[in-house]
A and B are shown apart, each in its own frame.
Chain A
Amino acid sequence: MLTPRQLYETVLRMRLLEEGVGVAVQTGEIHGEMHLGIGQEMVSAVMGQYLQPRDALVSTHRPHLHALVKGVDPVQMLAELLERDGLNHGKGGHMHLFDPVASFMCTGIVGSGAPIAAGYALHRKLVAQGGLTVAVVGEGAMNQGAVFETMNLAAVLSLPMVFLCENNDYGISVPRRLSTAGQLVERGAGFGINGWECDGVDQRALDEAFSAAFADTRKHSRPTLIVAHVYRFRGHYEGDTDHYRPAEEKETAFRDRDPLLVARRDLVGAGWSDERIVALDGEIGREVSDWFEAARSLPFPDPSEARRGTFVDV
């Protein structure tokens, strides 16, 4: 389990990264759609301990935190988000980050990452034994046929993959009760896939789920499912007026389900004084602002890059 300090640091880094990206949207430095993971940090922070370099991860339209814990270089990622010559030369941007070195990718099409994750898992099964693949989906994506099909496929082929469902109860404006029948974790059971459901701001619960699921998948080369319950602290995208979620619901969540506050409480519980925490905040703050500075020092992509790369040889 991460120490209180490790957890706090990791969550804080993520929070500051996402906040900085949000500012870049407001100032127009980023001109496209933007989905931030604020409120959902603890899931990725805990998962990070169990991910190995030989594992692959396929993420969603809300990908930054998963990218960080999978080992994508934050400066390269930020440069890509800030429309510079970054991870993918400015062609992918926020929803389409590809890092073959870190075995990471994401997609902006809801549910479409799961089948691709199965492909990475097939590769792990056939040639890179011991490695697994994580397919991240939101609870909204759980209603895509592609996800059902992939669960079945992964089960019949015994693919080493973990389906991670980050359940934030909303697909844009549509609450889960209006879109989703039954219990999410039971969807795995229908395919004989072992599932764990947990509170996504409870470090201990997350730890139990990830350690058990990852161990099961690695040991038996078979799929597992984790459903982690979180709250999305921002609108669906930056600029979303978010009138569809009741104000009290948001206030309660901001008070009780903020991963950063929870991690900070644990730090205090472990005997950290205010001064020590402030000092740590400063240290992490400088680290993240250095990332932004380094990313901003990179050039914009050369305009001629736009027409290159449709094919390998063009």
Chain B
Amino acid sequence: MCESAGASDRRTGAHLVAAVLMEEMRRDEGIVVFGEDVGALGGVFGATRRLQREFGDTRVFDTPISETAFVGMAIGAAQAGLRPIVEIMFVDFIGVCFDQVLNQMAKNHYMSGGRVRVPLVMRTAVGSIGSAAQHSQVLSATFAHIPGIKVLFPATPGDLRGLLVAAIRSDDPVVFLEHKWLLKSRLVELPFNDADSPDSPVEPAAVGKVRRIRDGSDVTIIASGWMVQQAVVAARELETADISAGIVDIRSLVPLDREGLASEALRAPCALIVDEDFAGFGTTGEVMASIAERIPGEVRMARHALDVSQPAALVLEEQVVPSARSIALQAKRLLRA
């Protein structure tokens, strides 16, 4: 399907997701898509637009606001042979159905001695766009902490497509974290846009490999999701202060490319690990440990993440959610230390 150049300028991340789902559903008749408002509305971010019109309401349908029931249904359907793509509108809502995630989805393959597979994708929107502590979380580490769930977190348009295809074709359960800004932003306005032309075929991206987004010799910024986009802006700002900042995109929390993290970190004397998710027992610590275990003492590291819920008021939110400005500031602080 070819769109004109003018129209393609209006594309957002949500358009990319919808296009991938459309293509994959054509390829594989076992794929079903369900969740709240994914049908006629096409998703609150538009990431399932036109799917119901194309495939009908038996393959694409709205659910009641009953997350335990429909996430459990996705697990059962996957075990029985379908390939469900289920949406949790905002990741924060996972709380109401967490047993299905923790004790069913993550465990059934292992507990069955490998006899049962759970090939489902749980797509969910993450991150801060205002709206406080129950609508701003990322929770990447919450999923990553549980053995048995793959956790992918695209930072760029290219990965939004490639990692989604990989997730859909995976035979394991995958939690696919879609940052709200990535879904909402026009691709052409992103700090880092690696979008292919709209009609290029989607290829699965390699899962479990970090990716260098930018070369730099003074400090390596290691991040995931929207923080990668923010780091790109920060790196430009640092450049004006004669600081050369490299950027490494984690992309896949599970499986985590520990070797890749260590070898990338070796390229500069310092590494700043940035996370929009909570700090404690999370990705920042996991990345630091992976590097420290492999190249002890080689790189000076600091983390930029907090153990604080997201407040409502903008003046407070800015204190808690890392941004390009705060990343640049923390990088400078690390270099001075």
- Cβ-based interface call for A294 (8 A): no
| B315 x A172 contact (CB < 8 A) | no
Q: Is the interface of A mostly helix, strand, loop or mixed?
A: loop
Complex interface: chain A residues within 8 A of B129 (CB): 32
Query: Which listed residue (A88, A109, A140) contacts B64, Cβ 8 A?
Result: A140
Query: Which listed residue (A90, A92, A95, A310) contacts B307, Cβ 8 A?
Result: A310
Q: 0/1 per residue, A62-104, Cβ < 8 Å to B?
A: 0000000000000000001001100010111111100000000
CB distance from A99 to the nearest CB of B (A): 15
| A32 x B130 contact (CB < 8 A) | yes
What is the chain B residue whose CB lies nearest that of A112? Answer: B96
What is the chain A residue whose CB lies nearest that of B313? Answer: A90
Complex interface: chain B residues within 8 A of A171 (CB): 36, 64-65
A89–B61 Cα distance when bound, in Å, is 41
Complex interface: chain A residues within 8 A of B39 (CB): 173-174
Which stretch of A49-57, A116-124, A196-204, A299-307 is in the interface? A299-307
Complex interface: chain A residues within 8 A of B64 (CB): 140, 143, 171, 174, 179-180
- Cβ-based interface call for B329 (8 A): no
- Cβ-based interface call for B193 (8 A): no
Complex interface: chain A residues within 8 A of B66 (CB): 143-145
Complex interface: chain A residues within 8 A of B37 (CB): 172-174
CB distance from A76 to the nearest CB of B (A): 14
CB distance from B131 to the nearest CB of A (A): 4
A94–B134 Cα distance when bound, in Å, is 11
* Contacts A32-B132, A174-B36 given; does A300 touch B315 at CB 8 Å: yes
Q: 0/1 per residue, A24-52, Cβ < 8 Å to B?
A: 00000001110000000000000000000
Complex interface: chain B residues within 8 A of A301 (CB): 311, 313, 315-316
A109–B67 Cα distance when bound, in Å, is 11
- Cβ-based interface call for A268 (8 A): no
| A174 x B62 contact (CB < 8 A) | yes
- Cβ-based interface call for B326 (8 A): no
A174–B57 Cα distance when bound, in Å, is 13
- Cβ-based interface call for B113 (8 A): no
What is the chain B residue whose CB lies nearest that of A145? Answer: B68
A111–B93 Cα distance when bound, in Å, is 11
- In B1-60, the 8 Å CB interface with A consists of 36-37, 39-41, 44
A190–B131 Cα distance when bound, in Å, is 36
- Cβ-based interface call for A168 (8 A): no
- In B281-337, the 8 Å CB interface with A consists of 306-309, 311-320
* Contacts A83-B314, A140-B65 given; does A109 touch B134 at CB 8 Å: yes
- Cβ-based interface call for B92 (8 A): yes
- Cβ-based interface call for A178 (8 A): yes
Query: Which listed residue (B65, B132, B313, B316) contacts A143, Cβ 8 A?
Result: B65
| B316 x A244 contact (CB < 8 A) | no
| B41 x A110 contact (CB < 8 A) | no
- Cβ-based interface call for B170 (8 A): no
| A144 x B315 contact (CB < 8 A) | no
| B96 x A111 contact (CB < 8 A) | yes
A127–B39 Cα distance when bound, in Å, is 48
Query: Which listed residue (B41, B135, B313) contacts A33, Cβ 8 A?
Result: B135
Q: Is the interface of B mostly helix, strand, loop or mixed?
A: loop
| B134 x A307 contact (CB < 8 A) | no
| A146 x B130 contact (CB < 8 A) | no
Query: Which listed residue (B132, B135, B314) contacts A91, Cβ 8 A?
Result: B132
| A178 x B132 contact (CB < 8 A) | no
- In A268-312, the 8 Å CB interface with B consists of 300-301, 303-307, 310
- Cβ-based interface call for A108 (8 A): yes
A90–B135 Cα distance when bound, in Å, is 15
Complex interface: chain A residues within 8 A of B309 (CB): 91, 310
Complex interface: chain B residues within 8 A of A80 (CB): 312
- Cβ-based interface call for A141 (8 A): yes
- Cβ-based interface call for B114 (8 A): no
Query: Which listed residue (A84, A90, A109, A146) contacts B311, Cβ 8 A?
Result: A90
What is the chain B residue whose CB lies nearest that of A240? Answer: B44
Q: 0/1 per residue, A137-173, Cβ < 8 Å to B?
A: 0001101111000000000000000000000000111
- Cβ-based interface call for B69 (8 A): yes
- Cβ-based interface call for B116 (8 A): no
Query: Which listed residue (A31, A88, A172, A244) contacts B130, Cβ 8 A?
Result: A31
- Cβ-based interface call for A10 (8 A): no
| A96 x B313 contact (CB < 8 A) | no
Complex interface: chain B residues within 8 A of A306 (CB): 308, 311, 316-317, 319-320
- Cβ-based interface call for A221 (8 A): no
- In A216-255, the 8 Å CB interface with B consists of 244
| A91 x B63 contact (CB < 8 A) | no
A101–B26 Cα distance when bound, in Å, is 57
Complex interface: chain B residues within 8 A of A304 (CB): 319
| B65 x A92 contact (CB < 8 A) | no
- Cβ-based interface call for A59 (8 A): no
Complex interface: chain B residues within 8 A of A108 (CB): 131-132, 134-135
29 residue pairs from A and B, CB less than 8 Å apart: A32-B312, A33-B130, A84-B313, A90-B313, A90-B316, A91-B311, A95-B132, A95-B134, A96-B312, A109-B93, A109-B95, A110-B65, A111-B65, A112-B95, A141-B65, A143-B65, A144-B96, A145-B66, A146-B96, A172-B44, A173-B37, A174-B37, A244-B41, A301-B313, A306-B311, A306-B316, A306-B319, A310-B307, A310-B308
Apart from the given pairs A95-B134, A111-B65, A303-B315, 17 other A-B contacts in the complex at a CB distance below 8 Å? A31-B130, A32-B131, A32-B135, A33-B130, A91-B132, A91-B312, A91-B316, A92-B312, A94-B312, A95-B135, A112-B96, A144-B66, A173-B39, A301-B316, A306-B316, A306-B317, A306-B319
Ranked nearest first, the 9 interchain pairs of A and B with the lowest CB-CB distance are: A93-B312, A90-B313, A32-B130, A306-B319, A173-B41, A143-B64, A83-B313, A32-B131, A306-B316
